[in-house]
Amino acid sequence: MNRYFLVLLVGLLALPGCGKKDKYRDIDTKNIKPWVPKSEPLSKYGNHSPYRVYGKTYRVNNHPNGYSETGKASWYGKKFHGRQTSNQEVFDMYKLTAAHKTLPLPSYVEVTNKKNNKTIVVRVNDRGPFVGDRIIDLSYAAAKALDFIQDGIADVHIRVVKSPRDLVNNPITQGSTYLQLGAFSDKISAYNLANKVSQLLGIETFVTILSTSSGTLHRVRIGPVESESKINQLINQITANGISDAKVITE
């Protein structure tokens, strides 16, 4: 089960797992394995752009080198431990990871707690937080290392130290035509369909989340698609595999 949007998109909303008491496994921050930042390939999942959450549109940053920001950080832990992140890795709250709304996945970010000047490097592999004015959602281990578990929220400065190596040659597409395979109120049904299509056809399939007056929709999509001939080809492939509700969406 994803937290965000498969590519959220499958996330699901990075609500912080914070509380006033530390009820998690006690860990010595000195024993947490640090990251050695490196330029990894751009994740196949989690980088769809643009995407919408709670009626707001976000665009993934194609030029993250040198990016920095100051704002509030929250943290998440046990509620999402073992679930899929937006790029379909497994969230481990005891690793130094994070969720960000617009940085490409995966990115390595230096985070400094302005209250105590403690600094760590986290690997961004998830989307969020979509709550208030928070700029980053850190794993339990990352929040522990920065010493704000009890506070729940911290004022931080973040700075990108490494981003995916193939952004220049393969920038994140900002297209607007998609093939939608279905829209579900049940996120598990949406993710199951997205995974099925990805495995059957070897096509990147993502899920976006749309909040409506009647509830939340999880939309399974392929794209952006650049030509009508490609759309027709995809429809033929999908129909041949028993998926008959595909339709073209322009946004």
Q: Does pLDDT of 68 surpass 70?
A: yes
Q: Tell me, which fold does domain 29-40+61-162 have in CATH? A: Barwin-like endoglucanases (2.40.40)
Tens digit of each residue's pLDDT (9 = 90 or more) over 37-61: 999 999 877 887 777 777 677 889 9
Angle made by CA atoms 169, 3, 160, in degrees to the nearest 5: 40
Residue ranges covered by each domain of the chain = 29-40+61-162, 177-250
Q: Does pLDDT of 6 surpass 50?
A: no
CATH class of 177-250: alpha beta
Tens digit of each residue's pLDDT (9 = 90 or more) over 192-223: 999 898 888 888 888 888 877 778 888 898 87
Domains 29-40+61-162 and 177-250 share a fold: no
> Tokens representing 222?
């392929």
Q: Does pLDDT of 135 surpass 50?
A: yes
Question: Which helix (H) or strand (E) is 198 found in, with range?
Answer: helix 187-201
Residue 152's pLDDT band (cuts 50, 70, 90): very high
Instruction: Judge contact between 153 and 73, C-beta under 8 A.
Output: yes
E strand segments, the chain: 51-53, 56-58, 68-76, 97-99, 107-113, 119-126, 134-139, 154-162, 177-184, 206-212, 215-222, 247-250
What number of other Cβ atoms are within 10 A of residue 80's Cβ?
Answer: 27
230, amino acid identity:
K
